[in-house]
A = this chain, B = another copy of it.
Amino acid sequence: MSRKLLMHVGPTIINDEVLSAGHVNNAGFASPDFIDAMKNALNGFLYTVKSDNYMPFILPGSGTLAMESMASFLRPNDNVLIISNGVFGDRWKAIFSRYKLNIDYLKAEPGKAVSLSEIERMKKHYRLSVMTHVETSTGVRFNVNEASQILRNVSDLIVVDGVASISGENMEADKWDIDIVFTASQKALGAPPGAALLAISPEAVSELKDDSLAGFYNNLYAWKNVMTSILDGKSAYYTTPPVHIIFSLAKAFELIKKEDIDNRIKRHSIVAESIRSGLEGLDVKIIADREFRSNTVTAMMIKDPSRFMSYLYSRDIEIASGVVPELKDSYVRIGHMGWININDAVATVSAVERSMHEMGYEVSPGQGLKNVQEFLFKNNL
């Protein structure tokens, strides 16, 4: 394996200290060291969502498990509202369709977000409304804060999928009146995949009951006892936690605190802006409308995406393919999350420039990089 830059939407590049923290050969889930690490990871997650009084959960699985754990708040025939800006918004529909629920569904065009006025038009009472902070399929960032204010009037519970945003975008769950926000370990937190992290408001926690639509594995009512014990410094078991990933997460949160969450978000924003400057210098069409561009994912139009990706790969840059069905053969996604820095952005734009040249696009040497440097010069970076 060569020194490829993993500019992917997740897993992302992992800091060596984070990896080494998980390199332990005798870590049991009842070991004091593990309980400490898990407690630190739980509290560290609250720090990233600026909601110290929320209850944190870590589940053994991917971000999708966190999505499906919302069944823990639902009962048969409940009304749910899905606000979808793309493939991962639509995933809510695929999940909720496997349960007996009444689903309302708002959907934006690729590159756009559902408008707040559309949301204002929804007048039914919902048990639960869901939205996606950053839509991984297109890099669209949604104004979940304003949306939350509107939803408050019609929805008992407001849920934000922060998988592609947390620690790369600002999230103030408590202040913004969001009941549940979650992410996954392998995204902007920059740990290996295998853990889903949720923060749940005290009010929402008190609504967790045994008689929900949840199955066994995704049942937050049952998991709650584990988290309570761990936060109390005591061992607990429901199913085996991903011990090593949690050691890595604890280290990731330690580094995040050291960097400071706002500095971290700022860094994400700078790297994102650097990449986009370069792409615009290359006259590349970015899928997300200007107002919706995220700090963490940039989707760009390109002909023959798989050829383009292989050209980039041969230049030691690994990016992600497109997943929006209607655009699948005309775009790719660049992830810029976690431990990425400006060097990564510059290297990426350079490789994009050369790969476009190889594909026959009319680009002059340095055309994109000039824009990147202009942005960086201007901001003294």
CB neighbours (8 Å) of A192 from chain B are 22, 242-245
Number of copies: 4
**A111-119, A138-146, A167-175, A364-372 - the one binding chain B:** A364-372
1/0 per residue A15-44: CB within 8 Å of B? 111011111111111110100000000000
Pick the contact of A194 from B237, B242, B341, B366 — CB < 8 Å? B242
Interface size on A, residues (CB 8 A): 93
Q: Which residue of B lies closest to A214 (CB)?
A: B98
How far apart are the CA atoms of A366 and B214 in the complex, in Å?
Answer: 52
**Interface contacts beyond A3-B343, A64-B239: sample of 16 additional A-B pairs, CB < 8 Å, sorted by A:** A6-B26, A13-B25, A26-B318, A28-B320, A60-B65, A62-B240, A65-B217, A68-B216, A186-B240, A193-B240, A194-B194, A194-B245, A244-B245, A342-B351, A365-B377, A369-B370
Q: Which residue of B lies closest to A18 (CB)?
A: B25
Tell me which residues from 351 to 381 in chain A have a Cβ below 8 Å from any Cβ of chain B.
351, 353-354, 357-358, 365-366, 369-374, 376-377, 380-381
CB neighbours (8 Å) of A65 from chain B are 60-61, 217, 239
**A370 in contact with B370 (CB, 8 Å):** yes
Query: Which of A13, A30, A244 has the most B CB atoms < 10 Å from its CB?
Result: A244
* Distance in Å: Cβ of A236 to nearest Cβ of chain B: 11
* Distance in Å: Cβ of A44 to nearest Cβ of chain B: 18
| Given A366-B366, A366-B373, A369-B350: A1 and B16 interface contact (C-beta under 8 Å) | yes
Could you list 17 A-B pairs, sorted by A, with CB under 8 Å?
Answer: A2-B15, A2-B341, A4-B26, A19-B24, A20-B23, A60-B61, A62-B240, A67-B216, A193-B243, A217-B217, A242-B245, A343-B347, A350-B376, A365-B376, A366-B366, A366-B369, A366-B371
